[in-house]
């Protein structure tokens, strides 16, 4: 049967010989001498069989095979490699997508295999590509030649170098990619078949293509580069692209792609911390001078108040001056916190969870009811720091989250460990931030709120406080569906047992707290709510007795440090009337516990908790008492 045959080889004598033989046998033969011409011919031509050499000008035979295999209209075309080098590289031959391999030896021997291949092509075309036999024919007449072997090993050596480079390398011939190393394939994120034989700009994101075209156009004989100042986006990475013509009129050129994502990230981080450092220096200078000015105003106002005690109008004016000075002093204090110039505060080991518990309690009361606050705390998080500073840092983030959700939403607070760090993540479902706000939100006095609504010092104060604790705070995400801020602080490496303590959350059980309200520092109810319990508070045991029946609490927690004999008797009456009542005593010292003395509480209470309350211990004891 008459066949359409394409011969691709740069050996003209061999081409002539083969063409004559095939035409004599009645076939139609087209010949080309290099890879690019072959591709040009093949765009509008579907031969039945292609014979090609492996070593070809412009595009190597193996690349050409891969490209041909990808072309839909050549799917059934029989692809046969005729090359001397197949004798030495039989291990690689089956990977390139050819259907048969003929070792180039004496013409007569090759011709025999060529004719056989032509005869077989129709029959084999019906077989799926993977099942076609792929042995090397004609090897018996070819002896491996030392030179080819050496060339091949040198080629492999160069290939190994290119493949191990971190930079992506593309070889371009007549605006078509003919080679891509592994790094380029990885950066582009497409299979090699989809990279070869396309124009280079098509490998980049749509918005970046024009920049690549302009880069190629701008080159004459020198290397040109883009992306250093404004990186090119490629498959979610940031890269620079260098273009190097290696032959006249850009017939052959090289493109180098360098991934600079990580470097750009570090540069931005450095720029940001340098900027914050510089603003900090200015802020502390301003704050210092401003504080002196305020002191002067305050002293004079007090002189007026002292000297004109009977002049009510002047007294009132001086009072207003004092109030303004106080407001100014607060501002100075926040600026100083940002500048981290006042770090003399005592640093002790505190549980970050306790700080969250306290601030949570405040926002729970002050936030709009439409904001659903969700806490996820699993472990105690001991850090070395200043309690008030850290609670203020958190408070600022909570307040911003609240401000971002005027119509309500969800505020999620996650506290967890990550290696040696305590992480607190604060997410809101609010309006989010645009890129400019996100970039500038930690700058002092940066605010998007209406005049008079925000000073723009909230986040900068938080930043200063967290940095002074050797920690970090950052916006980790922000979209129109909300923002997430993350604080990370180094965990205190004091005692390793304390670091492992787990927190067992309650499930809304009711706890009645008997506690003297005159103590302003009591936050027992706050801690319990943070642990997931509902709490009600009464001032005295008598009040608790009266309310017990109505409230039916799951646990009663009593501050036993100031219990009188009378109140112990009243407490006993609760257990007498309610044998299942679960009472836990809060004590000042371990001397109060039953092992040490009969404190009158034995038989009444189910457990003792020592002050100051350790959240993890409290959570464990309450869950045990609830279970018994």
Q: In 3-state terms, what secondary structure has residue 359?
A: helix
**Site residues for Mg ion, window 385-414 (CB under 5 A)?**
400
When the beta carbons of 161 and 476 are compared against ligand ATP, the nearer one is 476
When the beta carbons of 380 and 461 are compared against ligand ATP, the nearer one is 461
When the beta carbons of 458 and 553 are compared against ligand ATP, the nearer one is 458
Q: Which stretch binds ligand ATP (CB under 6 A): 113-121, 188-196, 307-315, 451-459?
A: 451-459
Is 386 a binding residue for ligand ATP by CB under 6 A? The answer is: no
Contact partner, 490, from Mg ion, ligand ATP, none, Cβ < 5-8 Å per class: none
CB of 463 to ligand ATP, least distance (A): 9
Is 459 a binding residue for ligand ATP by CB under 6 A? The answer is: yes
Burial class (CB in 10 A: 0-12, 13-18, 19+), 183: buried
CA distance 405 to 414: 18
Whether 22 contacts 29, CB under 8 Å: yes
CB of 399 to Mg ion, least distance (A): 5
When the beta carbons of 73 and 449 are compared against ligand ATP, the nearer one is 449
When the beta carbons of 60 and 428 are compared against ligand ATP, the nearer one is 428
When the beta carbons of 301 and 400 are compared against Mg ion, the nearer one is 400
User: How far is the CA of 476 from the CAs of 375, 433, 485, in angstroms?
Assistant: 19, 12, 6
Task: Rule CB under 6 A: choose which of 42, 356, 457, 489 binds ligand ATP.
Answer: 457
Contact partner, 437, from ligand ATP, Mg ion, none, Cβ < 5-8 Å per class: ligand ATP
How wide is the angle at C-alpha 121 spanned by C-alphas 119 and 127, nearest 5°?
Answer: 135
CB of 483 to ligand ATP, least distance (A): 4
Task: Rule CB under 6 A: choose which of 31, 301, 447, 468 binds ligand ATP.
Answer: 447
Is 460 a binding residue for Mg ion by CB under 5 A? The answer is: no
Whether 552 contacts 511, CB under 8 Å: no
Task: Rule CB under 5 A: choose which of 458, 464, 471, 506 binds Mg ion.
Answer: 458
CA distance 447 to 457: 8
Neighbour tally for 31: CB within 10 Å: 18
CA distance 268 to 531: 39
Q: How many residues bind Mg ion, per CB under 5 A? A: 2
CA distance 71 to 75: 7
CA distance 100 to 113: 10
Is 424 a binding residue for ligand ATP by CB under 6 A? The answer is: no
Q: Which stretch binds Mg ion (CB under 5 A): 294-302, 452-460, 554-562, 602-610?
A: 452-460
**Beta strands 232-234 and 382-385: pairing type?**
unpaired
Task: Rule CB under 6 A: choose which of 448, 509, 522, 623 binds ligand ATP.
Answer: 448
φ/ψ of residue 82, rounded to 5: -115, 110
Whether 251 contacts 272, CB under 8 Å: no
Is 258 a binding residue for Mg ion by CB under 5 A? The answer is: no
* Number of Cα atoms under 13 Å in the Cβ half of residue 139: 12
Q: How many residues bind ligand ATP, per CB under 6 A? A: 23
**Which residues are registered as beta bridge partners of 513?**
537, 557
When the beta carbons of 348 and 388 are compared against ligand ATP, the nearer one is 388
Nearest alpha-carbon partner for 69 in 103, 33, 87, 94: 94
Is 429 a binding residue for ligand ATP by CB under 6 A? The answer is: no
CB of 388 to Mg ion, least distance (A): 18
Tokens of 248: 């006249």
When the beta carbons of 128 and 452 are compared against ligand ATP, the nearer one is 452
Residue ranges of alpha helices (H) inside 165-260 are 182-188, 192-195, 209-218
**Site residues for ligand ATP, window 463-492 (CB under 6 A)?**
483
Neighbour tally for 196: CB within 10 Å: 20
Q: Which stretch binds ligand ATP (CB under 6 A): 103-111, 383-391, 426-434, 613-621?
A: 426-434
Is 523 a binding residue for ligand ATP by CB under 6 A? The answer is: no
* Number of Cα atoms under 13 Å in the Cβ half of residue 416: 10
Is 31 a binding residue for Mg ion by CB under 5 A? The answer is: no
Cite the beta strand spans of 84-213 per DSSP E.
100-103, 136-137, 168-173, 176-180
When the beta carbons of 431 and 554 are compared against Mg ion, the nearer one is 431
Interface ranges with ligand ATP (CB under 6 A): 396, 400-401, 404, 428, 430-433, 437, 441, 446-449, 454-460, 483
Interface ranges with Mg ion (CB under 5 A): 400, 458
């Amino acid at each position: 049967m008459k066949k359409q045959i394409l011969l691709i080889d740069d050996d003209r004598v061999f081409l002539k010989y083969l063409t004559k033989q095939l035409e004599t046998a009645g076939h139609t033969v087209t010949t080309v001498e290099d890879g690019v011409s072959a591709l040009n011919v093949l765009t509008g031509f579907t031969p039945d069989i292609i014979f090609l050499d492996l070593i070809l000008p412009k595009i190597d035979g193996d690349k050409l095979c891969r490209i041909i295999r990808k072309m839909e209209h050549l799917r059934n075309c029989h692809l046969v490699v005729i090359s001397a080098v197949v004798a030495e590289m039989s291990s690689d031959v089956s990977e390139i997508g050819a259907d048969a391999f003929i070792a180039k030896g004496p013409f007569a021997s090759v011709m025999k295999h060529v004719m056989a291949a032509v005869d077989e092509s129709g029959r084999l075309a019906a077989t799926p590509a993977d099942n076609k036999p792929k042995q090397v024919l004609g090897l018996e007449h070819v002896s491996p030649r030392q030179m080819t072997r050496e060339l091949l090993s040198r080629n492999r050596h160069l290939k190994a170098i290119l493949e191990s480079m971190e930079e992506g390398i593309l070889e371009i011939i007549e605006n078509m990619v003919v080679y891509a190393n592994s790094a380029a394939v990885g950066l582009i994120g497409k299979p090699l078949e989809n990279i070869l034989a396309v124009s280079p700009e098509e490998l980049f994101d749509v918005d970046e293509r024009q920049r690549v075209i302009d880069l190629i156009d701008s080159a004459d004989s020198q290397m040109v580069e883009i992306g250093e100042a404004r990186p090119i986006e490629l498959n979610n990475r940031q890269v620079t692209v260098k273009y190097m013509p290696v032959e006249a009129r850009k017939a052959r050129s090289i493109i180098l792609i360098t991934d600079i994502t990580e470097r750009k990230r570090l540069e931005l981080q450095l720029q940001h911390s340098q900027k914050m450092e510089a603003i900090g220096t200015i802020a502390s200078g301003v704050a210092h001078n401003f504080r002196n000015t305020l002191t002067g105003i305050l002293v004079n106002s007090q002189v007026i108040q002292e000297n004109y005690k009977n002049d009510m109008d002047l007294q009132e004016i001086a009072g207003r001056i004092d109030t303004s000075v106080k407001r100014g002093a607060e501002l100075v204090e926040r600026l100083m916190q940002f500048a981290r110039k006042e770090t003399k505060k005592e640093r002790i080991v505190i549980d970050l969870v306790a700080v969250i518990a306290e601030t949570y309690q405040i926002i729970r009361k002050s936030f709009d009811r439409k904001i659903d606050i969700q806490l996820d705390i699993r472990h105690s998080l001991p850090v070395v720091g200043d309690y008030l500073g850290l609670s203020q840092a958190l408070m600022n983030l909570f307040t911003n989250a609240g401000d971002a959700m005027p119509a309500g939403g969800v505020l999620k607070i996650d506290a967890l460990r990550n290696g040696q760090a305590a992480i607190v993540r604060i997410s809101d479902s609010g309006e989010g931030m645009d890129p400019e706000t996100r970039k500038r939100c930690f700058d002092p006095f940066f605010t998007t709120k209406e005049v008079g609504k925000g000073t723009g010092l909230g986040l900068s104060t938080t930043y200063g406080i967290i940095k002074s604790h050797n920690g970090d705070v950052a916006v980790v995400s922000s979209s129109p569906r909300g923002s997430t801020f993350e604080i990370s602080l180094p965990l205190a490496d004091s005692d390793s047992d304390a670091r492992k303590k787990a927190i067992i959350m309650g499930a809304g059980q009711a706890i009645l707290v008997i506690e003297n309200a005159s103590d302003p520092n009591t936050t027992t109810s706050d801690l319990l709510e943070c642990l997931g319990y509902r709490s009600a508070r009464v001032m005295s045991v008598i009040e608790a007795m009266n309310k017990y029946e109505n409230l039916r609490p799951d646990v009663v927690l009593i501050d036993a440090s100031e219990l009188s004999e009378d109140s112990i008797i009243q407490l006993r009456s609760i257990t007498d009337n309610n044998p299942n009542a679960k009472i836990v005593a809060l004590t000042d010292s371990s001397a109060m516990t039953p092992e040490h003395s009969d404190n009158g509480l034995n038989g009444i209470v189910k457990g003792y908790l020592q002050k100051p309350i350790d959240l993890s211990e409290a959570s464990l004891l309450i869950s045990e008492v609830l279970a018994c």
